[in-house]
Amino acid sequence: MTTDISHGLSATSASVSSKVNAGEITVSNVSKSYGAGLFTKEVIKDCSFTIECNKLTVMIGPSGCGKSTLIRLLAGFEKPTTGDIKLGGKPITGPGRDRLVVFQESALFPWMTTYENIMYGPRARGEDTQENRDQADYLLEKVGLTAFRKKYPPQLSGGMQRRAELARAMINNPEVMILDEPFRGLDCMSKELMWEYYAGLYEESRRTNFFVTTDIDEAIFLADRLLIMSNVPGQVRATIEVDLPRPRRLAFVFDSERANAVKMEALSLLHEEAMKSFTGGSKAAADFVEAYSRRSSKAEAG
C-alpha cells in the first residue's frame, strides 16, 4: 500500500510541475497600509519577489517587518493596498484550495483523533474515498504518527501536533504550502527533529513551499532560496541562493563551509536592518543586536 500511495503522490507532483508556472507566485510592487489619514501605518512598501515553482523559499527578517502581513496577502485573507499578487499568472483575489497555510498556533480539533484531523479536509469536501484514506495512512507513517492515529491532540506532544498539522495540509494536495513560523515555541530538540521531518516531506513531493521564520539556522537548513526582509515598511532586501545538496541532514549542513558562509551573509544583512529598528526603540531589535554581538564576540575569540 505504501508503495502505491508514494507513486500516487509523485504522480500528482509531476502533474503539477508539468503546468506552466502552476505553483509560482509573483508579488509585484505590493504595498499594504492600515488605518487612515494621520493614523495610517504602512507595513509593506513596494515589495516584489517570486516564490519559484517546486522550490522551498524561506523568508526571514526583523520582528515586525511585515512577514505575517505578507502571509495573509498570499493566502488571500487580505488584499494589497497597491500592487498585485499572482499564482500561475492569475490574480489572487481570495482564499483557495490551491494555497494552504500552516500557522504558528495549533489548529487541530481537540475532539478529533489524529487520523480524523488529517482526514478533515477530504471529508468536508465529501471525498472520504479509499484513496484518501490510504493517503492518510501513508502520511501518518511518513510523519511517524501511525501508533498515535487514535490519540487526541491533548495527548500528543507539541512536535507531534505540528507533524499532524503538516499531514493534514498535505493530504489536500495544494499547489503551494505557506507556513508561518510553524515550529515556533518548540524546544530545541523537537524543533530540530521537525526540520528533518519537514525537509524530508518537501524533498519527496517537491511541492512549492513558502516558509516564514525568525530562526537563521532553520532558514538555512530548509531553504533553496532565502529572502531577507528589510526593516518596516517591509521589502525584500536581498535574495540568497542556498545551494546545499539534498537530502539534508543537520550534522552535514552545519559542518558545511557553504552553510556558514550563507549564515554570515544573512546575519550581516539582518543585523543592519535590526539596527534600524533598534534606533527606533524596538525591543525585539535590541534583543537581536545583543545576541548578534555575543555571537560575533564568540566567533572572534574562536
- Structural contact between residues 43 and 234, judged by C-beta atoms closer than 8 angstroms: yes
The predicted structure's pLDDT at residue 141: 93
The predicted structure's pLDDT at residue 64: 79
The predicted structure's pLDDT at residue 278: 61
Helices (H), the chain: 2-18, 67-75, 114-118, 120-124, 130-142, 158-170, 188-205, 216-222, 250-253, 257-279, 283-301
Residue 36 lies in domain = 2-98+174-257
The predicted structure's pLDDT at residue 285: 53
Question: pLDDT tens digit string along 216-243?
Answer: 999 999 999 999 999 888 999 999 999 9
Is 148 inside any structural domain? no
Is 169 inside any structural domain? no
> What single string gives the DSSP state of each residue in 71-82?
HHHHHTSS--SE
Is 147 inside any structural domain? no
Place of cell 535590541: 286
The predicted structure's pLDDT at residue 239: 95
Tell me: pLDDT of 17 over 50. no
Confidence of residue 284 (pLDDT cuts 50, 70, 90): low
Is 163 inside any structural domain? no
Is 280 inside any structural domain? no
The predicted structure's pLDDT at residue 14: 43
The predicted structure's pLDDT at residue 81: 95
Is 146 inside any structural domain? no
Is 18 inside any structural domain? yes
Is the pTM higher than 0.75? The answer reads yes
CATH number at residue 220: 3.40.50.300
Question: pLDDT tens digit string along 170-200?
Answer: 999 999 999 999 998 888 888 988 999 899 9
Tell me: pLDDT of 282 over 50. yes
Which of 97, 18, 57 is closest to 228 using CA atoms?
57
Is 165 inside any structural domain? no
Number of separate domains in the chain: 1
